């Protein structure tokens, strides 16, 4: 009985995984989550599971709260939307040859 109590795993992760952003390649997902970790560690964002709980595939729905340091008044944005915006911007100069 005691072994069972101490061997139980917490099912709910405390931070999203690359699988939680399936619309991106694994490399893009890891890049987005790395940036998100930096924002969270700096106090500029918070990450939490959405009220809806789980998706049909068993993965958690995640939201990000961007603090007013990032967006005036703060803003909630779904992880998948935020991650796509974070990595899908073209930052190359127009005159790159």
pLDDT category of residue 93 using cuts at 50, 70 and 90: low
Share of the chain above pLDDT 70, in %: 79
Helix (H) or strand (E) holding 75: strand 75-78
**At CB < 8 A and 24+ separation, what contacts does 54-59 make?**
59/19, 59/20
Contact (CB, 8 A) for 62 and 48:
yes
3-state helix, strand, coil in the chain (%, to 5): 35, 20, 45
- What does the pLDDT average to over 71-83? 92
- What does the pLDDT average to over 75-79? 94
- What does the pLDDT average to over 83-96? 70
What are 26-73's pLDDT values in tens digits? 999 999 999 999 999 999 999 999 877 788 888 889 999 999 988 899
């Amino acid at each position: 009985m005691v072994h069972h109590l101490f061997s139980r795993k917490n099912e709910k992760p405390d931070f999203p995984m690359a699988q939680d952003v399936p619309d991106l390649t694994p490399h893009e997902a890891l890049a987005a989550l790395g940036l998100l970790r930096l924002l969270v560690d700096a106090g500029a964002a918070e990450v939490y599971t959405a009220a809806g709980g789980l998706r049909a595939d068993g993965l958690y729905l995640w939201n990000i709260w961007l603090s007013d340091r990032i967006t005036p008044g703060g803003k909630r944005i779904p992880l998948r939307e935020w991650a796509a915006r974070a990595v899908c911007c073209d930052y190359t100069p127009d005159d790159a040859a």
